[in-house]
A = this chain, B = another copy of it.
Amino acid sequence: MSDIKKKSVLLIGGGGVGAIAALNLELGGLATVTVVLRSNFNAVNDKGYQIDSCDHGVVKNWKPSHVLNSVPNITTERLPPYDYIILTTKNCPDVPPSVASLVGPALPASNTHTVLVLIQNGLNIEKPFLASHPNTLVLSGVSLIGSAEPEHGVVVQEDKDRLLIGAFENPNISDEVKKTKAEEFVHIYGAGGKTDVKHSQNVEYDRWRKLVYNACLNPICAITGLDTGRIRLADGGVEGLVRPAMREIVEAAKKKGVDLGGDEVVDWMIEVDALELYLQPSMLMDVNKGNFIEFENLLGEPLREGQAIGVPMPTVQVLYQLAKAIQWRTKEKRGLVDIPKKKKAGE
């Protein structure tokens, strides 16, 4: 197949998840991928990625078709619009710049051609784009991959790439277009035959379901410093923290019309990671690395949704407030907030 028929993809954020997505898309042969990198740009631009993947095997010095260190301005550079822009960055709306402003140079406000694919966690992540890009189709990507980038350019994928793709609601776009474009993306992404990518008819369900894990285990592990195995072994970890939090999320979803199935989903999510793997959820890894955490989309949004319709969420509420304080600590360490000068006792 010639390059002419390939779809042009701009992938922003080539870490553990993004690198595997880029590799998979290019191996499928239906896409030409431009990857935008920040902290790992030099490593990847010099030597490519060093990938050890349960889906694709060991791949040395692999480079996507194009590697950039910033999002291209398609207007000033007179570039054709991309067919797809995939966002696989972390998404922390409380820490500038916003993802909407990040993607801005490659996605004019009036865009109708480019399809935006958000392979990011949490709730309401499409809302900023509905405001800034009202006629852009936004696809939800819920990824269940287990992949990390332990050092710049080195990617280790230990758990299969499973991806649920479906269109976010948008009153300005017909259901027909939503369906066609979602199926097209699934086709391109699945062309390599190594991934489990599916078209989902129910984006809200996918996202709430993943939140049962992400709004609960993620912050509880991050706050206590325990991994998913240890929190299950710790005194009261499951019955005092994880289960009450998960039940609040399931209840909020239910009141929003998303029936996740009650305690079965809670039990399933508690045990989804084998205990003896002692896995560190992303938020715990971020805290350990001194990185910002995605607590607003993972915790804040479901909390606000649930509270707005009267669901009591006392556990998630306290976890949210603690996560917010921990985020402030990182902001202070990075010089984003000023505090009064320290005095000595008696001064």
Contact = CB atoms under 8 A, between A and B. Distances in A.
Count of this chain's copies in the oligomeric assembly: 2
A343 B279 CA distance: 10
A233 interface: yes
Interface string A94-127: 0000000000000000000000000000000000
Nearest to A275: B340
Given A225-B329, A314-B314, A339 B241 contact: no
A235 to B, nearest CB: 5
B234 A328 contact: yes
Interface string A299-339: 00000000000000011011111101111110010000101
Interface in A203-226: 220, 223-226
Interface residues of A, number: 49
B339 A233 contact: yes
A237 interface: yes
Contacts of A319: 318
A231 interface: yes
A146 interface: yes
A343 B276 contact: yes
A176 to B, nearest CB: 41
Interface string A272-283: 001111100000
Given A314-B315, A319-B318, A230 B339 contact: yes
A158 B347 CA distance: 12
A342 interface: yes
A342 B277 contact: yes
A192 interface: no
Interface string A218-261: 00100111100111011111001100000000000000000000
Nearest to A225: B329
A289 interface: no
Given A223-B223, A315-B318, A325 B277 contact: no
Contacts of A340: 229, 275-276
Contacts of A337: 233
Contacts of A220: 322, 325
Given A314-B318, A318-B315, A325 B278 contact: no
Given A234-B329, A237-B328, 11 more contacts: A54-B346, A223-B322, A224-B325, A225-B326, A230-B328, A230-B329, A233-B328, A240-B324, A241-B325, A276-B343, A318-B319
